[in-house]
Structures are given as structure tokens and as C-alpha cells.
Chain A
Amino acid sequence: MLKVNGINVYYGNIHAIKDVSFQVEKGEIVTLIGANGAGKSTILKTVSGLLRSKTGSIEFVDKNICSLAPHKIVERGLAHVPEGRRVFLQMTVEENLEMGSFTQPKAGVSERLERVFEQFPRLKERRRQIAATLSGGEQQMLAMGRALMSCPDLLMLDEPSMGLAPLLVEQIFCIIKSLNEAGTTILLVEQNALMALSIAHRGYVLETGRVVKSAPAQVLLDDESVKKAYLGG
């Protein structure tokens, strides 16, 4: 579904992503794990068009999306939940969600809204509340719900567990898993490698802008070097 081929991304003179290739098949959860500064978020931003790659290609459903503007990429069914939640703080929960379906025809909005509320009952309780007053976990749910409002085929999540209490992290990962079971393909970027690998089908390990390992999640979980570096022994 998503094929990334040999992309190189620079921040000014800094070569952040070095010749990275990976792919995501339909129905999978694929995770990119790695330490701080490995380039995980940069890769997601490049896929969603916020950053540009100097070389290589990014194919989504067999079409090259490398040079498309971000809003065109969203229209094609690829949604990105950016790092650090980034909800529209001064808008209500419902307004936030409505913004998510900006690229979609107006007709189905209320229907999709109901579907998101089914997935996140907590958001339904708080639909008229200003987003700034939500807790961190609720804001993360809101950010995910907002991305789902564009009916994506592929959902890219950037560090959904960041800054959340362990209990909430588990809840969020449960939701991710159920979204996947409901048919959404997921590309997940995480620092919490153990959690990410436990729900993913496959994983890629990144180190300073390079893919150093790729294998089924279960294999990575048992891999000695990965255990040592990311899973705490």
C-alpha cells in the first residue's frame, strides 16, 4: 500500500534520513522504532508531504505522492497524526473533528462523526468542551479521531504514547489495535518499542537516519541486540 524507496531528507546541511526504504502492506500495523533523533518523525513528515525528500520515491496505492502538496495527500486517504497531539485548543471537540473531514464532502460528516464517537465514547461525552480543557490522553484520542474523520486508508501515528500515563498508553494501544482490526492500515512511530512491537505485525529499527533492521515484530522482540538497545535488557 505504501512503498518508500531510498528517500534522503535534509534539514539544511544536516543529512537526517539516509537512503531509507520500507513498505506497508494493506491491513498491517507497521512500526518504526528507534532512539531520539533516529529520524522517525522526519520520515512520517516526509510521507505526508510536510517535508521533501531529495531523492527516491514514495508510492501510495501505486501512485507517486512524492511531489504532492500535503492537502492532496490527505485527499488520497493518507492521514497523519502529528507528534505532540496538536489539537486545535480553542475549538470544541466536535469542531476539531469536523476540521478533520475538511477534504471530504459535507454529506457524510455526521455519519463519520458518529463512527468516531463509537470508537472514542469519551469524546462523545465531551463533544461541546473546548479541546484545551481535555486531558493528555483525551487530546491524543481527539487527534486520532480527527485523522479518522478523513476516512483514511492508511493512518500514520507519531508517538501516540508520548507524555501519557501508563494506563492511558495501554488504552491508546488497544484503540490502535481495534482500528486496525476494523480495516485501517497503520504506520506507527514509537519510542515505547515494547508496546509498539507487541501490537505490530512488522517493525523497522532506525538508527541515526538509517534502517538497520527489519523483521516481523515477534522476531524483533526476541532479538538480542534490539532487546539490549530498546527493550531494557
Chain B
Amino acid sequence: MKKNYKQIPMPVRYAINILLLIVFLVVVNGLIESKTISFSDSKIIMLIGINIILAVSLNIGTGYLGQLPLGHAGFMAVGAYASAILMRNIGASWLTIPIGMIFGGLVAALFGLIIGIPALRLKGDYLAIITLGFGEIIRVVLLNIDDVLGFKLTYGAASLKNIPKTTTFLNTFVVVIITCFVIHTMMKSRHGRAILSIRENEIAAESCGIKTTYYKTLGFVVSAFFAGVAGSLYAGYLGILSPGSFGFMKSIEILVMVVLGGMGSMIGSVASATVLTALPEMLRTFASYRIVAYSLLLIIVMIFKPSGLMGTYDFSLSHLLEKLLNSKRSIGKKSEKGGR
């Protein structure tokens, strides 16, 4: 039925996507450098980037793996503190940023492994409670570890200061793109299929010969890794870290982004992370009513679109272009509803 359906070859697809991303980066970066976008707005844009990484990485656990982890802020905190302590000690250079991020990510991934192995034996609410507990433990440990062990490491409630402010628009969004690309590629691969099949039906997956424990842990660890990377960007963004900012509410905030965007949809996570970060700022004119407006929005979306804004739909620019190309070729004929 698709005999004349023009397809865009793979390298061209990549080229188009990369080109558009570069144009986006250069344009927005130019706007920020030339102060067309104000300093405070550029800060919000960076925060959007960090939240996108958090939402997209949590989406592995909730959307693709079908679990309900509530400790994402814990992994973020681990990554943030690990890289902040490292960055403070090695001083600022161009290498600080990647080293700090990778280090933060790896430490968070290690914690993901330690938590994941016992936690993933459980399901649903039990897993939620274990991960919730983990998140709180991290926060309390960060708060008290110096006093108890006599370190000068996290500075507890006095907060960790003088972290080099390395996070810029450019490096944030390069990391956002890498994150989305890696997770997207992973989910399209054989490993991603295995993870999806566990969500669909764990017993069937097991009887197909899929190592369910291994793949669940893999998903969890990758999710934790990128949360740690986001944490290290956050450390470099604020320049100051206190355990209070990684509480339970932070995990919920990220979860809301994923649920609102549609579980299992990457573009959904990206869109809702953008909206939910920008919205509270834009609603500042309503002063104290903004929290009400924010909550109302959530309620309305959940009533009218319980699967989230995007459902499980994933956006593909190439599919859209292909559709456009083909509909132009066959004017008059109804263009087929394609894509996924």
C-alpha cells in the first residue's frame, strides 16, 4: 500500500535533525549573549534543560519500565553533591564540566545499582515506598554526615558553597540532546525492546528468555545515571547546594512532569518539563494564586487526557517530513495517517 511512499534515507534524517539542533543552539545562544533574552530568562531556560533531563530519565523507570520510582531527587542529589565536591577540588577549567558530569552520573548510577537490585524485586506501591525511603535517606545523610563523621564534605544544612558556576545554556542543551539521543537509541534497540516487553507482560517476557532482573536493573541504572548528570548541571547552575532542595517534593515534581507529558513518550516529557518549569515563572503576575493555577492545570489535564498530553506518541520529524512530501505528491488523495 505504500509503494510510492517516499522515505527519507537514514543519513539525511540525521543530517536534518542535527542541522536543526545546531541552528536552535546557535540562535538561542546568540540571543542570550546579546542580552536579547534577559539574564533571568536565560536562567529559566537552563532550568528547563535540567528538568528535561530529569523528566526524560525518570521516564525510563515510569514510562518504559512501568514502575513507580519516587526517589529520583535522591539520585539527582547524589550526582549533584558528588560532582560539586569534585569540581570544587579540581578548580574551573574547560575539563571541569564533562568530568564533573560524568563523575556525578557514575556515582548516581552506582547508587541506582545498589538500590535497584533489592527494590526491583518488588512492584508497584512497594517499589514506590522503597525508592521514596531511599530519597529521604539520601537527604538526611547529606544533612548530617559531616556532624556524625567529622568530615568537611557536604557542610550539611549550612549548604555547600563556592561551586564553580560552570553551567551555561550551551553545555546544558548539548547534554539535553545527548541524553535524549542516548535514551531514544537505547529504547529502539534490542535492550529497549526487552525493557518494553517487561512493562507489557513480565511473565511472558521471562518465558521468552529475557533476563527480567538484568533489564530492569539496567533501566534503573541508566535512569539514575542521567539524574546524576542533571544533578551536576544543577550544582553548576546554582553554585550552592543544600539538601533541602532534594526533598520528596522534588521527586514528585519530576514525576508530575512525566505523567503530564505522557508516560513512555519522550517528546511528552520534554514538552511538559518545559511547560511546567516556565509556567510558574510566567504566572508570577498572579502572585500567590499561581500555585492554584498550576494545580488546576494538572487536574484539568488528568481529567480530560489521563494518558498525559502526548500519550505514548513519539514525535519524529522525519516522519512528519515524509508525510508532507507524500501528501504533496498525491494532492486530492487523502494522505495516510502514518507515524507512530
Contacts and interface: CB of A to CB of B under 8 A. Distances in A.
Note whether A and B form a binding pair.
Answer: yes
A216 B200 CA distance: 39
Nearest to A85: B204
Interface string A67-79: 0011101110001
Given A88-B197, A88-B200, A90-B312, A102 B207 contact: no
Nearest to B190: A102
Interface in A34-92: 48, 50, 69-71, 73-75, 79-82, 86-91
B284 interface: no
Interface stretch (B208-216, B275-283, B328-336): B208-216
Contact of B200 (A70, A80, A89): A89
Chain A contact residues (Cβ within 8 angstroms of B): what range? Answer: 20 to 34
Contacts of B206: 50, 70-71
A143 B204 CA distance: 9
A50 B205 CA distance: 11
A48 B209 CA distance: 10
Contacts of A73: 209
Given A74-B209, A102-B208, A146-B208, A50 B193 contact: no
B194 interface: yes
Given A82-B203, A87-B204, A91-B197, A103 B312 contact: no
Contacts of B209: 70-71, 73-75, 102-103, 150
Given A95-B193, A99-B193, A89 B207 contact: no
B208 A86 contact: no
B196 interface: yes
Contacts of B208: 74, 99-100, 102-103, 146-147, 150
Contacts of A82: 203-204, 207
A79 B208 CA distance: 7
Contacts of A91: 196-197, 200
The bracket for how many chain B residues form the interface is 10 to 19
B201 interface: yes
Contact of B207 (A48, A90, A98): A48
Contact of A50 (B190, B194, B201, B203): B203
Contacts of A98: 193
A89 B201 contact: yes
Nearest to A86: B204
B211 A88 contact: no
Nearest to A149: B208
Interface string A141-181: 00100110010000000000000000000000000000000
Contact of A69 (B197, B201, B205, B211): B211
A17 to B, nearest CB: 18
Nearest to A98: B193
Contact of A71 (B190, B200, B210, B312): B210
A103 B312 CA distance: 28
Contact of A86 (B193, B203, B211): B203
Nearest to A88: B200
Contacts of B197: 88, 91, 99
Contacts of A146: 204, 208
B264 to A, nearest CB: 9
A67 to B, nearest CB: 16
Nearest to A84: B203
B201 A87 contact: yes
Interface in A205-226: none
B210 A102 contact: yes
22 contacts: A48-B207, A50-B203, A50-B207, A70-B209, A71-B206, A71-B209, A74-B209, A75-B209, A81-B207, A82-B203, A86-B207, A88-B197, A88-B201, A88-B204, A89-B201, A98-B193, A99-B194, A102-B209, A143-B204, A146-B204, A150-B208, A150-B209
Interface of B: 190, 193-194, 196-197, 200-201, 203-211, 312
Given A71-B210, A74-B209, A102-B190, 16 more contacts: A50-B203, A50-B206, A50-B207, A82-B204, A86-B201, A87-B201, A87-B204, A88-B197, A88-B204, A89-B200, A90-B196, A91-B197, A99-B194, A102-B194, A102-B209, A147-B207
Interface of A: 48, 50, 69-71, 73-75, 79-82, 86-91, 95, 98-100, 102-103, 143, 146-147, 150
